[in-house]
Every structure is written in structure tokens, then in C-alpha cells.
Amino acid sequence: MEISELDKYGICDGISEIILTSGIKNPNAAPIGLIRKDNRIFIRLYKGSTTYENVKQDKNFAANVTCDPLLFVKSTFSNLKNENFKYYSLNSTKIPLLKNSASSVIFICGEIKHTEQAMTAEIIPMDAVANDYRPKAINRGLTAVIEAAVHATRYELTGDNKFLDLIDQCMETTYKCGGQREKDAADILLYEIDEIKKHVSGGKDTE
Ligand SMILES: Cc1cc2nc3c(=O)[nH]c(=O)nc-3n(C[C@H](O)[C@H](O)[C@H](O)COP(=O)(O)O)c2cc1C
């Protein structure tokens, strides 16, 4: 499949925040940014996640396009339930997909580079399925809760309190502009932040 065809499935130039599903035996889901530039696509996976381990081992995964804030927030902090997954057969393996995504693209890894903290893989699209093309207007409550989830993962990693302030600002927008699903996702995120606060070392600066 050509990279240019990915536009049809919602993966366009720039960084697309998708939910990556991986793991043949135990399906796993996590939000990841796909970097598309100059007709090539990459992912950068930081060490320490299940996604990192699965992709390193299997060298394949699915990128699921969705605007559902609950799927994003739940898959950031814990795994989704088995009932959220279905399977796509690629050669002799089965790759997990998200049932309720707008589209899913199956990728295999090309060249992989490892650094001390992460791996970067050029990825090759093999096939894609489109489930739902309903248009959705930009909702600032949605973009803010996704932004807050990114800050939350950085807070968990660094313990830097500046991320808590950024999360507060995002939450203000979500509770003002979001629909019920965005607000429910924000409630989960705030609960998870309280949990993270209990075990982060606190006060460390980011690089
Ligand atoms: C919108 C969004 C984008 C993210 N992008 C990445 C990414 O590109 N690479 C990465 O390693 N982690 C990224 N993360 C963090 C992972 O999703 C997070 O570490 C997650 O807990 C990993 O889950 P897992 O252990 O089930 O794989 C992102 C998080 C969010 C909310």
C-alpha cells in the first residue's frame, strides 16, 4: 500500500495521534504519535511500555484512528478490555485492532534504530480498513483532554510539577467546551493523576 493512500484513513502529514494495538497473545492498546514526513512514516517508542516490548518483538501493529476521548484516556493509564479488540490476519499471525475505531492501518516495521531511551522505527503500511467516515468538528474539549493525557505521561515520567499546572489549564477547557464523553475522560484523567501523585518522586526537572 502507498503512503499517499493513508490520507483516506485519516493518517496525514505531520504527527497523528492514534491508538496503537499490538501483542499477539495479550492484546494491548496505547496512544502513540505517528510521524509522517516527506512520504515516510516513523514511530518513536520509549522504553518501559508494553507497546515498546510488543513492537520490538513482533515488528507489526495496527494504528487505530479514533476521536473517542475515553479510549485515549483509558488506554493511556491502563489496558482496554478484551471486548474492545478484534483481529486481523497477516501472513500466519493475528494482529489486534480496535473494534470501534474510524479506521485501522496495519503496519510492519522497516529499519529500527535503538537509543538509550527509545527505539525509532520506519514503518510500512500493509493494509487498511475503514469503518466509519462520519465527520466530526474540532472540539477544543477533546484536543485539551488529549493534551492533558500527554502531560500526564510526562508528569509520571519526570515528577515535574509544571505538568500539573498544564493539566489544570487543559481541564478548564475540557470542562468548558467538551461533551459528556470528554468530561468523563477528564474525570478519569484527574483520578489517575491523583494516583500517580502518590508514587512519583516529585520535584525532578525535565531535561
Ligand atoms: C496522545 C498521546 C501520544 C503519545 N505518544 C507516544 C509516543 O509517540 N511514543 C511513546 O513511547 N509514548 C507515547 N505516549 C505515551 C504512552 O501512550 C504511554 O506511555 C502508555 O502508558 C504506554 O502504554 P503501554 O505500557 O500499554 O504500552 C503518548 C501518550 C498520549 C496520551
Q: Which domains are present in the chain?
A: 3-130 (2.30.110.10), 140-199 (1.20.58.290)
pLDDT band at 41 (very low <50, low <70, confident <90, very high): very high
Report CA(125)–ligand 1 centroid distance (Å).
Answer: 20
Q: Which of 21, 22, 51, 157 to mutate to test the pocket of ligand 1 (most atoms within 8 A of CB)?
A: 51
Tell me the C-alpha distance between 175 and 100, whole Å. 24
71 within 8 A of 77, measured Cβ to Cβ: no
Q: Which of 56, 68, 76 to mutate to test the pocket of ligand 1 (most atoms within 8 A of CB)?
A: 76
| Closest ligand 1 atom, residue 43 Cα | 8
The per-residue pLDDT for range 66-112, each reduced to its tens digit, is 999 999 999 999 989 999 999 999 888 999 999 999 999 999 999 99
Q: What is the mean pLDDT of the chain?
A: 94
Taking each helix axis from N to C terminus, what angle separates 140-158 and 162-177, rounded to the nearest 10 degrees?
A: 160
The per-residue pLDDT for range 49-67, each reduced to its tens digit, is 999 999 999 999 999 999 9
The per-residue pLDDT for range 115-144, each reduced to its tens digit, is 999 999 999 999 999 997 788 899 999 999
Measured in residues, the chain has a length of: 207
145 within 8 A of 186, measured Cβ to Cβ: yes
What average pLDDT score do residues 184-207 get?
79
pLDDT of residue 7 exceeding 90? yes
Q: What local confidence, expressed as pLDDT, does residue 206 receive?
A: 35
Residues 6+ apart with CB under 8 A from 57: none
DSSP per-residue letters across 54-123? HHHHH-EEEEEE---HHHHHHHHHSPPPGGGEEEEEETTEEEEEETT-SEEEEEEEEEEEE-SSEEEEEE
What average pLDDT score do residues 39-50 get?
96
155 within 8 A of 33, measured Cβ to Cβ: no
Q: What local confidence, expressed as pLDDT, does residue 202 receive?
A: 47
Judge if the beta carbon of residue 31 lies within 6 A of ligand 1: yes
- Cell numbers representing residue 197 in the block: 501523585
pLDDT of residue 207 exceeding 80? no
Report CA(77)–ligand 1 centroid distance (Å).
Answer: 9
